Every structure is written in structure tokens, then in C-alpha cells.
Amino acid sequence: MSNKDNHKLTPEQYKITQNKGTEPAFSGIYWDTKTEGTYHCVCCGVALFSSETKYDSGSGWPSFWDSLQIDSICKHVDRSFGMQRIEACCEKCGAHLGHVFDDGPPPTNKRYCINSASLDLREK
């Protein structure tokens, strides 16, 4: 993300997307929304997820079983906090989104566990 875009982010959005933070479970604006639309990166605006792949994982964060485009999400090993997870980032700008786990529903068996503050829902 370029410095000129920093002014658009709230302090929470900045903490999460730029400093790899996380919001408390069940606190983000999208964790339980059923609104149809497309979820975009709050930093650069690229489309990341569709409401069609969103599901209630019970985790307290928006969860998706697939990304919108195979190349819209980059994944990195995250060894922070004494554990190993797969970090999900926006491929275009590198913003931290959340993590990907292998305990999701078919057909992918993936759970993209994403911070609401990293997303911008654009309704259908």
C-alpha cells in the first residue's frame, strides 16, 4: 500500500492490514452478515471474496471456503505466537487479511478466516 492511501484507513484497519493485527472474535462488522456482494481489500480495492462462498464457521470472523480469484490472495507461513499458520494477504498490495486453515467445508476444505477490518463489502 502506498503512503498516499494511509489516510483512508482507520487506526484499526491500519493495525490489522499493515501491522498484521487481528480484531477480537465476534467484533467485526462482517462476521455474521448475510448481505450479498463482493468483499474487496480495504487498502487497494481489489476483489477478494464473494458472499456466495461465505459461511458461518463459528469462529467469530468472516469465513470463506474459497477466494474469488486464485491469484488474488497470497499465502505465507506465519510462525508468530509460537504456532505455525498460513497467513492470507492481498496479492496486489500485500495487506494482511487473516489466515487460511484446512478445516473448512467442501469443495475446498479451506477456511479463509479474515478480519472484517481488512474488507470492504460492496453490495450486489
Grid coordinates given for 51: 458472499
Q: How far apart are CA 123 and CA 51, in angstroms?
A: 9
The answer to whether the beta carbons of residues 9 and 85 sit under 8 Å apart is: no
**Pairing between strand 63-64 and 54-55?**
antiparallel
70: left (phi over 0), alpha (psi -120 to 50) or beta: alpha
The answer to whether residue 113 is catalytic is: yes
Could you give the residue numbers annotated as active site?
113
